[in-house]
Amino acid sequence: MTTKAFIAGCAGLELTEAERAFFARSQPWGFILFRRNIADRAQVAALTASLRAAVGRHAPILIDQEGGRVQRMRPPNWPAYPAGRWFGQINDPLRRTALARLSARLMAHDLREVGIDVDCLPVLDVPVAGAHDVIGDRAYAFQPDEVARIGRAAAEGLLAGGVLPVIKHMPGHGRAGADSHLALPRVGAALDDLRSHDFRPFRHLADMPMAMTAHVVFEAIDPSAPATTSRKVFRRIIRGELRYDGLVMTDDLSMKALSGDFAERASAAYAAGCDMILHCNGVMDEMARVAEAARLLAGAAGRRAKAALARIAHEPEPLDRGAVADDIARILAAAG
């Protein structure tokens, strides 16, 4: 069967028969896991195997494993990783990036062990004073170049461990005054300010294989639509000024920043220039509407998807997991 350009979630710790049949019929390119899908190593490994069996191929499986408050795989079965800001607060620049890379390399080991091969990390958003805390300490720093340096270290750590990074939230969510899970943020900053601050880390990491959009309106570019559904933002900024030619997926289509039914949301995102639709909550009626609107994965989107997966067609870099985990735990304990 032909693969479709969307990523789906599932409802629980194991697939229902209805989910198996739906995934076999609709053929999403990949899947994403959340806390509701996570119990222990054996269960997650079984679930990822079941998802791939449902579509009859080695579909990519994603997760948001950032550290801090956004960490789907948690203790006691997995380490507690620090939030991004922790790395930015380390005084020594070399130690800062080295620890970000090591932490991401360890995450990659944890993910690969249970069949997950894409992590929605690094967060490249750059907060400003007065912005909503939805990004907050998920951001590495308040300086764009520092965000870029630490973000690259994290991305390279994931890649070394055989896991694809997803840079987010392109072209920047750090200035938003609202949580896009709940409302549509509007940013009124001048274009020159956006270029020098918000967009800058994404330009530095434009070689990364995958990116996730921001459900944010940038009034200086397109006051009528958020970046996810804005053809102007895609043409002028994402594919234009940022020169990004990797696979671009939406942020979760079920977030309240977007309007319209789910087929309309998917169609608007494709029309804007998104390669891949992301729907996370596992609600069958919503997924069915997304699947109806989903495009076949072909053309430029198909090329980008193939190129992204080619970045992990290698044996992971050697890792002494126990030693690295102990080192990071000691450093975190010493930092308080």
pLDDT in tens, 183-206: 999 999 999 999 999 999 999 999
CB distance 145 to 100 below 8 Å: no
pLDDT of 149 higher than 70: yes
Residue 207 is among the residues annotated as catalytic for this protein = no
Report whether pLDDT(334) > 80: no
pLDDT at 336: 57
70-71 vs 65-67, strand pairing mode: antiparallel
Q: Is the pLDDT of residue 3 over 60?
A: yes
Q: For residues 19-41, give the mean pLDDT.
A: 98
How far is 298 from 289, CA to CA, in rounded Å? Answer: 20
Q: Is the pLDDT of residue 212 over 90?
A: yes
- How many residues make up the chain in this entry? 336
Mean pLDDT in residue range 264-283: 97
Catalytic residue among 251, 252, 275, 279: 251
* Per-residue confidence band for 120, with pLDDT thresholds at 50, 70 and 90: very high
204 counts as catalytic: no
**Domains in the chain, please, with CATH?**
4-335 (3.20.20.300)
pLDDT digits (tens, 9 = 90+) for 312-324: 978 899 888 888 7
**Which residue has tokens 């938003």?**
176
Closest residue by Cα to residue 122 from 154, 146, 95: 154
Q: What is the pLDDT of residue 314?
A: 83
pLDDT of 62 higher than 60: yes
Structure confidence at residue 335 (pLDDT): 66
List the beta bridge partners of residue 278: 7
Mean pLDDT of 7-30: 98
The reply to whether the predicted model has a pTM over 0.75 is: yes
Q: Is the pLDDT of residue 95 over 70?
A: yes
Instruction: Count the Cβ atoms, other than its own, within 10 Å of residue 122.
Output: 31
- What pLDDT is stored for residue 323 in this prediction? 83
pLDDT of residue 158: 97
* Mean pLDDT of all residues in 30-49: 98
| 4: β partners | 28, 296
pLDDT in the model for residue 73: 98
**pLDDT over 70 for what percent of the chain?**
99
User: Which position among 40, 145, 181, 314 bears the catalytic label?
Assistant: 181
Secondary structure E strands in 231-270: 247-249
Question: What is the CB-side half-sphere exposure of residue 334 using CA atoms within 13 A?
Answer: 7
Crossing angle (nearest 10°) for helices 93-113 and 144-160: 40
pLDDT band of 327, cuts 50, 70, 90: confident
What's the mean pLDDT in 293-306? 98
Instruction: Return d(Cα 31, Cα 59) in angstroms, integer.
Output: 7
Joined tokens for residue 225? 């639509």
Average pLDDT of span 4-27: 98
Is a pLDDT exceeding 70 seen at residue 283?
Answer: yes
Distance of alpha carbon 214 from alpha carbon 230, whole angstroms:
11
Amino acid identity for residue 332 in this structure = L
Residue 261 has a pLDDT of 94
In this model, does residue 10 exceed pLDDT 70?
yes
Distance of alpha carbon 28 from alpha carbon 156, whole angstroms: 27
